[in-house]
Structure 1
Amino acid sequence: MKKSLLQKYNVPGPRYTSYPTVPYWNETDFNYQIWIDTLKKSFSESNDSEGISLYIHLPFCESLCAFCGCNKRITKNHGVEHPYIEAVLKEWALYCKIVNKKPKIKEIHLGGGTPTFFSSKNLEDLINGIFSHATRAENYVFSFEGHPNNTKREHLQKLYDLGFRRVSFGVQDYSEKVQKAIHREQPFHNVAKVTFWAKEIGYTSIGHDIIFGLPFQELEDVIDTIEKTNSLQPDRLAFYSYAHVPWIKGNGQRGFKDEDVPKDDIKRQLYEVGKHLLYENNYHEIGMDHFALKTDSLYKAIENRELHRNFMGYSSSKTQLMIGLGVSAISDSWYSFGQNVKNLEDYYQMLEWDKLPIFRGHLLTDEDLIIRKHILNLMCQFETSWKEESNYFEEIPEVMNQLKELEKDGLVLISKDNVQITEAGKPFVRNICMAFDLLLKRKAPETQLFSMTI
């Protein structure tokens, strides 16, 4: 890849798990009642037809990982588990009371933090508590994130018995030097053990998360990590760019210097070589940063043009309504976003008051809904169209003019009413989405809010 393209397009930019992105939410025009009203509207439109999604945030970790940008609480005190589960179930009961009908759940994802910080018994109580107020939708998909160092076979078996068929394990990198720098020391043996357990139990989609661009990471480290990963044959992979944002994440990313982090051409080489090795081992690129075998549901979703992206990342199933439970969790009614309070004590206090712990959000405008569709299309299908009048917006000519430079560089193909991302353009998908981001263009941030796009 030409150095000039890297220099030209490696700028700060959103990852677009939502549009509008969180820094551009209009919190002034949002309030608690707006969230309730849009929640009810979306629930009535979607519950009977497709069901809803639940994201449950489980924030506790025993140690701090330097690469992680999630909301977490570091503790070795496992006495925090039961009170937290009780609080989440109370929040869920409040939602069920508001919609006044049994929700039909199509998708559950347990994220964190470290979901496997919790005992299998407490996780069982959580899921059973959820379904004391709900039913399962047809073809439901339940998934969770597991830490290879503390995921027990009992975790895997119990969650499988409860209907979970997808699990992802955080690998990051197998180099001891890199692991020490990011405070995530875990031997290959631990990852292999939990992967084989999951296969034996019957999980149909096992994922590994790998990161390139980590501090002290060299090309041979990425090659070694990919080769070890290939030996385990997970069904899907997330191959992420490390987001170096110490001004946001604080002390967690101050254990090494900026110059210890690979940049520009060196960082891009880590990705290109890693991607080539994945291709050689029958993995196919899915959306942005994701790869899957042809047998995985993520591959089938992109083939059938059913791939979806939300605050949980890429998904093979789509629902209009996603409710986030737990501290800092974000909910999406399609018409508005609502985020829970980030402080654990505030979360408990609001539930004591029998009030949903929403503290901020955004009501999507008609323009937001159109732009959101285009960015979802680009992220999930590598193309978008405004042939239908409902997908057209006034600034389309301006957007196309901005994309002309990317077209000249061979990253997109532009027609009268369509934009298609080329194979060469896939690494620049965030930049292409930014051309459609009207809010970002109208008010560029005065300080760096986002990680680099490449």
Structure 2
Amino acid sequence: MKNSLIQKYNIPGPRYTSYPTVPYWDESTFSKEKWLETFKKSFKESNTSEGISLYIHLPFCESLCTFCACHKHITKRHEVEEDYITTVLKEWNLYTNLVDEKPIIKEIHLGGGTPTFFSSDNLQRLIKGLFINAERHPNFEFSFEGHPNNTTKEQLQTLFNLGFTRVSFGVQDYNETVQKAIHRIQPFENVLQVTNWAREIGYTSVSHDLIFGLPFQTKENVIHTINKTKELQPDRISFYSYAHVPWVKGVGQRGFNEADLPKDKEKRELYEIGKQLFADLGYVEIGMDHFALPTDSLFKATQEKTLHRNFMGYTANKTQLMIGLGMSAISDSWYGFAQNVKTVKEYQELVNSGEIPVFRGHILNQEDLIVRKHILNIMCHFSTSWDEKLNQFDELENSITLLQEIKEDKLLKIQNNTLTVTEEARPFVRNICMAFDRRLQRKQPETKLFSLTI
């Protein structure tokens, strides 16, 4: 890949887990009442036909990892678990009380924070509590994120017995210098142990999360980490670009100096090395930053054109309605987004007073809905079309004009009103989506909002 293209396109840009992206939500037209209207509309349209998804944010961590940009609460006091679970179940009841039929849950994902901060008993109480007023979809898929240092065999067995078949372990990098810099000391033996436990128990998909672009990380580190990963052969691998956004996340990402980070060409080379090594091992690139073995459901979803992307990342299941429960969780009704308050204290106070704890969001207009489809198509399938009238919007010509320069750089093809991202251009997929992002194009940010695209 030409270094000149990397330098040209390595600019701040969204990761497009939603459109509009969170900084461009129009809160002046949003209200909790409007959000709940879109929730009820979406539930009525989709619950019976495809079910709903639940994302549950479990925010507690015993220590702070300095690479992390998630909303978390650092504590070693495990007595916080029970009250938090109670509050999440109360929030879920606030939603179920708004509808006339039982929710049919197709997908659950436990994220954080550190979901395995919670005891087996409390995890069981959480999941069983959700189904007091809900049913399982016949094709349900439940997943969770596990920390290799504290995930126990009991937790894995408990969640498996409750229907969980997919687990993602955060690995990041196996080099000790890198681990010290990001405050995540994690021996290979711990990852080996939890991966083997998961497989012994019967999990059908084990994923490892790796990150490139971390402080002090070198080519040798990436090669070493992937060679160690090869020994365990996870079904999926997420190979994320480290998002350095200390202006958003503050001191948590100031545990090292800017000069310690791989830059531009050097960082991109880490990705290219990883991508080639994954291909050599039989992994197929899925969407952006993800790789899967041909036996995994994520690969099958790609083949069947059912791959979806939302605030949980890439998923093999698509549901129109996704409810986010817990502190800072984001919900998506397709017609609107809503985010919960960002502190445990305020979250619990609101829910315990009988309020759905939403504090901001966005109601999508007709243009938003069309642009969102194009961005989802590009992020999931590397292609989109505006041949039909229903896929066109007023400023489409402006987007096509912005795409011309990317086309001249041979990063995409446009033929018969259909855009296709070339194989070598996949690292630039965020840049291509930005051309469709009308809200971004109308108002460029005055301050830093996003990480670099490459």
What band does the TM-score fall into relative to the shorter chain? over 0.9
> Could you say which residue in structure 2 is the equivalent of 1:146?
146
Give the TM-score normalised by structure 1.
0.99
1:351 CA displacement: 1.1
1:152 CA displacement: 0.2
1:36 CA displacement: 1.0
Is 1:74 matched with 2:74? yes
1:167 CA displacement: 0.2
CA distance in 1 between partners of 2:97 and 2:270 (Å): 50
Q: Quick check: 1:29–1:363 contact (8 Å CA) kept in 2?
A: yes
Q: Quick check: 1:223–1:274 contact (8 Å CA) kept in 2?
A: yes
Give the TM-score normalised by structure 2.
0.99
1:412-451 maps to which residues of 2 (within 5 A)?
A: 412-451=412-451
1:297 CA displacement: 0.2
| Partner-residue secondary structure (3-state), 1:110 | strand
> Could you say which residue in structure 2 is the equivalent of 1:333?
333
Question: What RMSD in Å do the two structures reach over aligned CA positions?
Answer: 0.6
Q: Quick check: 2:57–2:325 contact (8 Å CA) kept in 1?
A: yes
| Partner-residue secondary structure (3-state), 2:174 | coil
Is 1:192 matched with 2:192? yes
1:121-136 maps to which residues of 2 (within 5 A)?
A: 121-136=121-136
Please identify runs of 4+ aligned residues in structure 1 that moved more than 4 A: none
CA distance in 1 between partners of 2:378 and 2:348 (Å): 39
**What's the CA shift string for 1:235-288, capped at 9, x where partnerless?**
001000001111112111212110100011100110000110000000000000
Farther off after superposition, 164-173 or 410-419: 410-419
Tell me, which stretches of 5 or more residues in structure 2 are unaligned? none
Q: Quick check: 1:91–1:325 contact (8 Å CA) kept in 2?
A: yes
> Could you say which residue in structure 2 is the equivalent of 1:301?
301
| Partner-residue secondary structure (3-state), 1:140 | strand
**What's the CA shift string for 1:26-59, capped at 9, x where partnerless?**
0010001101111000000000000000000000
Q: Quick check: 2:68–2:253 contact (8 Å CA) kept in 1?
A: no
> Could you say which residue in structure 1 is the equivalent of 2:105?
105
Amino acid at match of 1:67: F
CA distance in 2 between partners of 1:198 and 1:164 (Å): 11
> Could you say which residue in structure 2 is the equivalent of 1:316?
316
> Could you say which residue in structure 2 is the equivalent of 1:169?
169
1:230 CA displacement: 1.0
Once the two structures are aligned, what percentage of the paired residues are identical?
Answer: 65
CA distance in 2 between partners of 1:77 and 1:439 (Å): 43
Amino acid at match of 1:93: N
1:388 CA displacement: 1.6
> Could you say which residue in structure 2 is the equivalent of 1:89?
89
Q: Quick check: 1:51–1:103 contact (8 Å CA) kept in 2?
A: yes
> Could you say which residue in structure 1 is the equivalent of 2:4?
4
**What's the CA shift string for 1:109-129, capped at 9, x where partnerless?**
000000000001100000000
**What's the CA shift string for 1:393-443, capped at 9, x where partnerless?**
122222111111111111100113110000011000000000000000000
CA distance in 1 between partners of 2:365 and 2:398 (Å): 20
CA distance in 1 between partners of 2:369 and 2:195 (Å): 40
1:100 CA displacement: 2.8
> Could you say which residue in structure 1 is the equivalent of 2:273?
273
**What's the CA shift string for 1:134-188, capped at 9, x where partnerless?**
0000110000000000000001100000000000000000000000000000000
**What's the CA shift string for 1:79-98, capped at 9, x where partnerless?**
00000000000000111001
Is 1:356 matched with 2:356? yes
Farther off after superposition, 170-179 or 385-394: 385-394
Q: Quick check: 1:410–1:424 contact (8 Å CA) kept in 2?
A: no
Figure out how many residues of one structure are paired with residues of the other and give that number.
454
> Could you say which residue in structure 2 is the equivalent of 1:375?
375
Amino acid at match of 2:406: L
Farther off after superposition, 295-304 or 348-357: 348-357
CA distance in 2 between partners of 1:140 and 1:150 (Å): 26
CA distance in 2 between partners of 1:194 and 1:348 (Å): 32
